[in-house]
Amino acid sequence: MTVGQYRRIDLGLFAAIMAVFETLLVTAATKWFPNEPYTVSVVPAVTTIVMMRWGPWAGVHAVLGGIVFCAASGARLPHYAVYGAGNLLALAALAPLRHATPEGVRSSAFRSMLLALAVPLLMQAGRAAVSMLLGTPAALAAGFFATDVITLLFTVVLIWIARRMDGVFEEQRHYLLRIHSQEENEERGGFYER
């Protein structure tokens, strides 16, 4: 299997996981807590993981996550633009990721948690900016930050767990090379034992 084929499968699996869990979370939240203004979303967590794994390909998951959230919550057409386009601001988190290197971020709990905070905060800022472009007053647009506090905490917890799982919160080319190297070492060891 080529890296491109592996990437397509990996991105597809993460998109499917995100779509299913996002739909379930939104449906459950609106059913169980209909009068609460807070939202819970897996989109920032999945986007952060994909960002670590494949870099800018995370933009696909950011947009798709916004669309799934809107579809599951029965949003009106302008909300699709707010969530879909607004979530793309999360890609700004790639700049520090390139500076520190993905491996440097993964190996540091502090840097991992900063990334886990940056992605949802950037998504919220992007949504606020797009909604203001569509005519929403700034005071109302600021509500994106208040309603997503639980999502922010949820993202930090999920990234904390993901970084402890081998290969999940890791740049995938690095991961594939590491696994290949381990397999070669095992084969050499097995050969010399004969």
Is residue 43 within 8 A of residue 62, CB to CB? The reply is yes
Does 173 reside within a domain?
yes
Residues 71, 140 contacting (CB under 8 angstroms): no
Query: Residue 188: inside a domain, yes or no?
Result: no
Taking the alpha carbons of 88, 60, 65, 168 in that order, is the dihedral positive or negative? negative
Q: What is the mean pLDDT of the chain?
A: 89
Name residue 155's amino acid. Answer: T
CATH of the domain at 172: 1.10.1760.20
pLDDT of 192: 45
Please, what is the angle between helix 109-133 and helix 43-54, to 10°?
A: 120
140 found inside a domain: yes
pLDDT in tens, 107-164: 889 999 999 999 999 999 999 999 999 999 988 888 888 888 889 999 999 999 999 9
Crossing angle, helix 58-73 and helix 43-54, to 10 degrees?
170
Q: Which of 25, 49, 20 is nearest to 38 (CA)?
A: 25
191 within domain boundaries: no
CB atoms under 10 Å from CB of 23, counted, come to 15
Residue 193 lies in a domain: no
Give the range of the structural domain holding residue 8, as residue numbers without chain letter: 3-182
Which runs of consecutive H residues, i.e. helices, occur in the chain?
Answer: 3-32, 43-54, 58-73, 77-86, 94-100, 102-107, 109-133, 138-141, 143-147, 149-162, 172-193
Report pLDDT digits (tens) over 11-54: 999 999 999 999 988 877 766 666 676 778 999 999 999 999 99
Q: What is the pTM of this model?
A: 0.89
How far is it, in rounded angstroms, from Cα 145 to Cα 122? 10
Query: Which of 185, 163, 183, 190 is CA-nearest to residue 53?
Result: 163
Residue 190 falls within a domain, yes or no?
A: no
If one counts the domains in the chain, the total is 1
Whether 11 is covered by a domain: the verdict is yes
